[in-house]
Structure 1
Amino acid sequence: MSIKTDSLEASFLNHVCEQKLALTIFLVNGVKLQGTITWVDANSMLLSREGHSQLVYKHAISTIMPNSPVEIAVA
């Protein structure tokens, strides 16, 4: 699912979601999550790994780090 906004965050999340890129998400409490983002909306995202899904609220995220380099064009 795509976020319909014109921002770096939206461009980045749409790109990693559409490309099914593996990534690591660090939460503000230090927890490390790994997987691919399969759904994104204004407040949350769905992270999937090995057949399991986790709903992650954006306010709980500190850092999103793709496992490989990402190049996106922001208009």
Structure 2
Amino acid sequence: MAERSQHLQDVFLNTVRKQKISLTIFLVNGVKLTGIVTSFDNFCVLLRRDGHAQLVYKHAISTIMPGQPVQMFEGESPE
């Protein structure tokens, strides 16, 4: 059976979710959000900070900046 390819954004978001890496998310309107990804799907990201959740639509995201290096693939050294 053919192996399903994963999108880079899914690999990235799943890695930071599993490792509970704090992120800064910049929206297209300039708003800056910080928190930890608790869930995501094709259209949105659920961000949690201080016990509060924010549902952010992916089309509103400009940039995602992790608070520490992210090792997404096995054998890769964090930069």
Q: Same fold (TM over 0.5)?
A: yes
Q: TM-score, normalising length from structure 2?
A: 0.84
Partner of 1:65: 65
Letter in 2 for 1:9: Q
Question: What's the % identity of the aligned pairs?
Answer: 58
How far the C-alpha of 1:57 sits from its partner, in A, is 0.2
How far the C-alpha of 1:7 sits from its partner, in A, is 1.4
Give the paired residue count.
71
Partner of 2:24: 24
Runs of 4+ displaced beyond 2 Å: none
Q: For 1:1-75, what aligned pairs fall within 5 Å after superposition?
A: 6-73=6-73
Q: TM-score, normalising length from structure 1?
A: 0.88
Unaligned runs of 5+ in 2: 75-79
Unaligned runs of 5+ in 1: none
What CA RMSD, in Å, does the superposition of the two structures yield over aligned residues? 1.6
State the secondary structure of the residue aligned to 1:70. coil
How far the C-alpha of 1:5 sits from its partner, in A, is 5.7
Q: Identify the structure with bigger relative contact order (alpha carbons < 8 Å, sequence gap 6+).
A: 1
Higher Rg = 2
How far the C-alpha of 1:46 sits from its partner, in A, is 0.5
Letter in 2 for 1:29: N
